[in-house]
Amino acid sequence: MIFAILLLLVPVSLALQYWVHASPLWNFAIAILAIVPLAEWIRRATTQLAHVAGAAIGGLLNITFGNAAELILALFVLHAGHSDVVKAQITGSIIGNSLLGLGLAVVIGSWGREHQTFKRERASLLSSLLILSVIALMVPALFDYAERGLYANPNPGSLDERMSLTVSVVLILVYGANLLYTLVTHRDVFAAAEGHARARETPARVWPVWQAIAVLALATAVIAWESEIVSHALDATAERVGLSTFFLGIIVLGVIGNAAEYISAAYFARRDRMDLALTITVGSSIQVALFTAPVLVLVSHAFAHPMNLVFGNPLELIAIAAAALTVNSIARDGETTWFEGVLLLAVYAVLGIAFYFVKA
């Protein structure tokens, strides 16, 4: 019901932008909210296609479209020259999924229950991939620091770009290997939660393939339209509300691009399916780190503003590391309680406060 109501914001957003010519703040706010139901429709269409195509092809579809809303939004922001905002959005997505999304799912799912359980094998793999994500995102920043500080290179930009491109290729290969491992070679081990392709229940009504493709194409096109509005209104909105574009990227864009995932995770957690909730939230963080971010680096070289993986603000890397360590600590015993969900939300709140006061 909530997605049906939010879907009405799509025509409202387009009217404000092209007919009323409203202020950038209103354009930004309505467009960013309109992306949420569109992301949910992409999720539904992808689930329908995955159901028809099977787990392996479904996994590939989810790599492409699992974070489509976020990827499209990031591409438009990147095209507008805000590479730092895109990096903030990447950070916000990783910590938002792992801390906010999982925290809400655990609290909602465990409330009224003594505890909930999940499969340790899947949780262990997700935790390991999250740690790999931290290492992969830290190395380019440490490389940049070494070049500037230890080797007195005043402008290591070219080396940073080459380093980021190489690391991006490695990360995409690792994500592909993870897909092969969980959906093909060790599918039986992870049958309870076999990746994003099966992170949703079997649809009550299976759509025809043409319908799923049409919904997917239309929702993707409209998201691109809304993302263009958001990217053009970003600077004016930040100035109007007195917030940095860095904060908007890490909190607002990072959360909105994954809002549909949060709702799905909470829904499955409440139905005592924590395996799915964990896969949706932590799996989305891993997809952002190992696939979305590297793709953005590769694609950015077609723009006038190439992006690297060097996060200029150390707090971003600290936040990603904190998210990985917190999730690893909570996931190791194979069960959760509502208080552990509160701890996840508390870590996210503390990081959010810190980002609010950052002078980016």
Q: Name the percent of the chain lying above pLDDT 90.
A: 35
Q: Is 96 in contact with 348 (CB distance < 8 Å)?
A: yes
Task: Please state, in angstroms and rounded to a whole number, the distance separating the CA atoms of residues 331 and 127.
Answer: 8
Question: Chain-centre distance of CA 235, in angstroms?
Answer: 22
Q: What one-letter code names the amino acid at 235?
A: D
Q: Look at residue 50 in the predicted model and tell me its pLDDT.
A: 72
Tokens matching residue 97: 């999924």
Across 276-298, average pLDDT: 90
Task: Please state, in angstroms and rounded to a whole number, the distance separating the CA atoms of residues 97 and 297.
Answer: 21
Phi, psi angles (nearest 5°) of residue 288:
-65, -45
Phi, psi angles (nearest 5°) of residue 199:
-80, 15
- pLDDT, tens digit, 9 for 90 and up, residues 220-274: 899 989 998 998 899 999 999 888 999 999 999 888 888 878 888 888 899 888 8
Q: How many CB atoms lie within 10 A of CB 97?
A: 29
Q: Look at residue 63 in the predicted model and tell me its pLDDT.
A: 57
Say yes or no to pLDDT of 147 above 70.
yes
318 class by beta-carbon count within 10 Å (0-12 exposed, 13-18 middle, 19+ buried): middle
Say yes or no to pLDDT of 197 above 50.
no
CATH fold of 2-357, please? A middle domain of Talin 1 (1.20.1420)
H or E stretch covering 335: strand 335-336
Distances (CA, A) of 299 to 40, 74, 82, 308: 25, 11, 14, 11
Least confident span in 22-26, 42-46, 297-301, 335-339: 42-46
pLDDT tier, 192 (very low <50, low <70, confident <90, very high otherwise): very low
Say yes or no to pLDDT of 2 above 80.
no
Which of 338, 290, 24 lies closest to 172, judged by CA? 290
- pLDDT, tens digit, 9 for 90 and up, residues 46-87: 878 877 766 556 655 665 676 788 888 899 999 888 889 999
Across 135-152, average pLDDT: 80
Across 209-224, average pLDDT: 90
Q: Is 88 in contact with 96 (CB distance < 8 Å)?
A: no
Q: Look at residue 303 in the predicted model and tell me its pLDDT.
A: 82
Q: Look at residue 194 in the predicted model and tell me its pLDDT.
A: 45
Residues 6+ apart with CB under 8 A from 10: 34, 37, 38, 222, 226
Q: What one-letter code names the amino acid at 199?
A: A
Q: How many CB atoms lie within 10 A of CB 188?
A: 7
Question: How high is the mean pLDDT of the chain?
Answer: 85
Q: What pTM did the predictor assign?
A: 0.85
Q: What one-letter code names the amino acid at 297?
A: V
